Structure 1
Amino acid sequence: MAPNPQKPMDYRRLTRQHYKLEMLLGLGRSSQVYLARAPDGTKVALKVPRREVRTDRALTERFAQEVALSLTLNHANLVRGLSGRPEGEGAFLALEYFEEGTLEDRLKKGPLSREVALDCLSQVAQALIYLHDRGIIHQDVKPSNIFIDGMLFKLGDFGVAKTRENPKPLERAGSPFYMAPELFLGEPATPASDAYSFGVMAFELLVGKRPFVGETLEEITHAHLHKLPPPTNLPPHLDRIVRNLLAKDPAIRATPKAFLQIVQGNPQAEASPDPGKSSPESKPPKSKGLFGLFRKK
């Protein structure tokens, strides 16, 4: 009788001690990330919370949520969690490892072609649609959280996600370069604020630069609140949808779903008015207590 083929490894049963650490990949405010190997030789990104996270209840709950989301969400364009323990001395999260790194790493080598950029954005849009349909707001959509495997692009890092169970995360999150105007004003994150961050990234990938820049936090803030995106050389349908994603008013902002429909050639896709033609767009309400609202990432 022929021997039974070896069963695939059940990663869910693994503890942190089962993984062999190889090198430190990065240090975050709340965790260290290592390149490690599972017992079957598979490379993983192993995230281990810092000691202060394990001793602070609010930080512990935040890490536990990241573990839970990473292990339960299932979409081709989301980074897959392999195993993890949410709390205690053995807390950890093992994630897919990406040899090619992040979209931010890729952009340092030069801009993407328009075809690849649209493919990337379409995949991220699908990931956001999946999250928003489940009441999850990512809160930190940006190139450094997009991971690359050939022509597959995956959104990762749920450390500051807002969920139905946790509608008030520990802190306001996100890089100022990608944050929606309403977040600067102290308003809560919504799917529309994720859409704006996606719009900033779409502009960056398709045009080759960010729509709003500044040398200081004050300059970046002013640009998001008051300035319109600069002209582009994009085809009219792409220019229009990207600008609609960057509408100052979240009530009329386009969605990732609308972007996906436009890219797929659906002219009936829902799109917002051109933000350049709406007076409230360039005159949002005055910010209050702005610089205490978030910490720069």
Structure 2
Amino acid sequence: MTNWDNKNNNWKREKPFGNGVVVLKVLNDSQDVTTDFLQEIANHKTVDGYSHAFVVRCYGISRESGTGNYVMVMQYMSNGNLRQYLQSNYGKLGLMDKLTLLREITQGLSFIHEVGLVHQDFHSGNILVSEIDCYITDLGLSRPANETSKGKIYGVLPYMAPEVIQGRPYTQASDIYSWGMLAYEMFSCSPPFYEYTHDSILGLRICEGLRPNIDETIMPQLLRNLIARS
């Protein structure tokens, strides 16, 4: 559903592109509309409709007849999330394949920032892969860049920027740090800090400057420099 059709007294519905297959994202226990749900719908309304955005599209909303839970009708991605895709296909991906996927992720994040949002939960589980392209998903935590989230810490620890771990507000710079961790994962096929227990000790070490070791034989120098700057 895109907007209300006053003439026909009904919602206008957008036809999914591609093969018409969609996925239904059920928000459990959402009988009463929550702020996070409305925020995610609003964020999709902001970014949907731009083919260059590389953000998973939301075609509309519905409700389950039995539970009353809200359902988001989303663009279907046939290859799952990026973590799964890398595990299954890493040996088949050449340098240009990895750079292309990373470019799409970069373009998607750049677009999210251009429209004034901060993703706030940027990791390989929230990057979905179609037949050939990467798309960013899960905009439920995204907020306008001028809204602070001080005191609220959420995300996946290995991808979280040091300032976020310390309790400071999420910013677009925090997303860019997470992008650096994704770039590392793209070329190493291993999540950042996979060899560490994900606990408060790791959080402290990240704040003290711990970063993943980057094998110079698998990643171009220019990209290593970009990750170091992120």
Q: If the TM-score is normalised by the length of the shorter chain, which range does it land in? A: 0.7 to 0.9
1:216–1:177 distance in 2 versus 1, CA, 3 Å: closer
Q: List aligned pairs for 1:179-190, cutoff 5 A.
A: 179-190=160-171
Greater relative contact order: 1 or 2 (C-alpha under 8 angstroms, separation 6 or more)? 2
CA distance in 1, matches of 2:41, 2:99: 30
Tell me whether 1:240 sits opposite 2:213 in the alignment: no
Aligned residues: 205
CA-atom RMSD, angstroms?
Answer: 2.8
CA distance in 2, matches of 1:69, 1:220: 32
Match of 1:230 among 209, 213, 218: 213
**Shift of the alpha carbon at 1:199?**
0.3
Tell me whether 1:218 sits opposite 2:200 in the alignment: yes
Task: Work out whether residues 159 and 192 of structure 2, in 8 Å CA contact, stay in contact via their aligned partners in 1.
Answer: no
Tell me whether 1:63 sits opposite 2:37 in the alignment: yes
Q: Which residue of 1 aligns with 2:70?
A: 91
User: Which letter does structure 2 place at the counterpart of 1:84?
Assistant: I
User: Which letter does structure 2 place at the counterpart of 1:78?
Assistant: V
SS of the aligned residue for 1:54 comes to coil
Q: Which residue of 1 aligns with 2:87?
A: 108
**Shift of the alpha carbon at 1:114?**
2.4
SS of the aligned residue for 2:117 comes to coil
**Shift of the alpha carbon at 1:201?**
0.6
Q: Which residue of 2 aligns with 1:54?
A: 31
Q: List aligned pairs for 1:35-184, cutoff 5 A.
A: 42-51=20-29, 53-55=30-32, 60-74=34-48, 75=50, 76=52, 77-84=54-61, 89=68, 91-111=70-90, 112-163=93-144, 167-168=148-149, 171-184=152-165
CA distance in 1, matches of 2:74, 2:61: 9
**Shift of the alpha carbon at 1:184?**
0.7
Larger Rg: 1
User: Which letter does structure 2 place at the counterpart of 1:54?
Assistant: Q
SS of the aligned residue for 1:116 comes to helix
**Shift of the alpha carbon at 1:132?**
1.0
CA distance in 1, matches of 2:144, 2:44: 13
Q: Structure 2: any 5+ residue segments left out of the alignment? A: 5-15
CA distance in 2, matches of 1:158, 1:100: 20
Q: State the TM-score, normalized to the length of structure 1.
A: 0.61
User: Which letter does structure 2 place at the counterpart of 1:224?
Assistant: I
Task: Work out whether residues 204 and 210 of structure 1, in 8 Å CA contact, stay in contact via their aligned partners in 2.
Answer: yes
Q: List aligned pairs for 1:19-30, cutoff 5 A.
A: none
CA distance in 2, matches of 1:119, 1:99: 18
Q: State the TM-score, normalized to the length of structure 2.
A: 0.78
Task: Work out whether residues 232 and 239 of structure 1, in 8 Å CA contact, stay in contact via their aligned partners in 2.
Answer: no
SS of the aligned residue for 1:47 comes to strand
1:85–1:69 distance in 2 versus 1, CA, 3 Å: farther
The sequence identity of aligned pairs, in percent, is 25
CA distance in 2, matches of 1:48, 1:171: 24
**Shift of the alpha carbon at 1:43?**
2.3
Q: 1:166-219: CA deviations, max 9, x gaps?
A: 544994321011110101100000000000111001011123334434124124
Q: 1:49-77: CA deviations, max 9, x gaps?
A: 222x434x7xx011111122223313330
SS of the aligned residue for 1:177 comes to helix
Q: Which residue of 1 aligns with 2:190?
A: 209
Q: Which residue of 2 aligns with 1:270?
A: none
SS of the aligned residue for 2:134 comes to strand
Following superposition, which runs of at least 4 residues in structure 1 exceed 4 angstroms of deviation? Answer: 164-167
1:158–1:169 distance in 2 versus 1, CA, 3 Å: farther
1:192–1:165 distance in 2 versus 1, CA, 3 Å: closer
SS of the aligned residue for 1:78 comes to coil
